Amino acid sequence: MSLHDDLLEKARASGLRRTKALEAILTCLADHNRPMTLAELTSCGHLSDQCDKATVFRLLQRLSDKGMVRRLGLHERAAYFTLLLPGVHRDYLICTDCGSIEPIDAPCPVHKLEEEIRQETGFVDLYHELEFFGRCPKCASA
């Protein structure tokens, strides 16, 4: 089974109706494999023909509520959306000036702590999201 099929099956199992817009959003996020803004998603492939920005945003919210999509970014700036994939963990750097987002290419320092917390508390399905905020080199030099 392909990643696209897995994503669609997970969406269906979590109660989401399989629509062309849902398929297009999941395909776009999977194909680009990076955080994307609402504007980028609505202009992606067949999605621009399927629905408007409000519909895409509502679908992203529902995917986020179901634990399939993670919303990133600063509250006053455009949000970025990225897929949450089983066994794949990414932490991000977010620029407080321009809002750019890039993945951190380093081992996550929180995994060991997460396991200790899981063992001490008995929590299941424990996860974390780690974001670092600062000024990117381009903004810092401006």
- Give the span between the Cα atoms of 22 and 32, in whole angstroms: 16
The answer to whether residues 108 and 68 belong to one domain is no
Length reported for the chain:
142
What CATH number is attached to the domain comprising 111? 3.30.1490.190
Task: With beta carbons less than 8 A apart as the criterion, state whether 81 and 69 touch.
Answer: yes
The answer to whether residues 25 and 71 belong to one domain is yes
The answer to whether residues 28 and 53 belong to one domain is yes
- The pLDDT assigned to 116 comes to 94
- The pLDDT assigned to 123 comes to 94
The answer to whether residues 2 and 55 belong to one domain is yes
The answer to whether residues 74 and 106 belong to one domain is no
What CATH number is attached to the domain comprising 68? 1.10.10.10
Q: At which of 39, 56, 86 does a domain end?
A: 86
- The pLDDT assigned to 127 comes to 82
Tokens of 73: 């970014």
- Sole residue written with tokens 């997460």: 114
Task: With beta carbons less than 8 A apart as the criterion, state whether 94 and 72 touch.
Answer: yes
Q: In terms of residue numbers, what domain contains 15?
A: 1-86
- The pLDDT assigned to 1 comes to 61
- The pLDDT assigned to 68 comes to 92
Which DSSP letter does residue 1 get? -
- The pLDDT assigned to 98 comes to 87
**At residue 124, what is the residue type?**
V
Output phi, psi for 41, to 5 deg.
-65, -45
Mean pLDDT by 10 residues, the chain (142 residues): 80 88 89 88 78 88 92 77 86 89 87 92 87 92 90
Q: At which of 61, 86, 111 does a domain end?
A: 86
The answer to whether residues 52 and 103 belong to one domain is no
Model confidence pTM above 0.85: no
- The pLDDT assigned to 11 comes to 87
Tokens of 76: 């006053």
Q: At which of 42, 66, 86 does a domain end?
A: 86
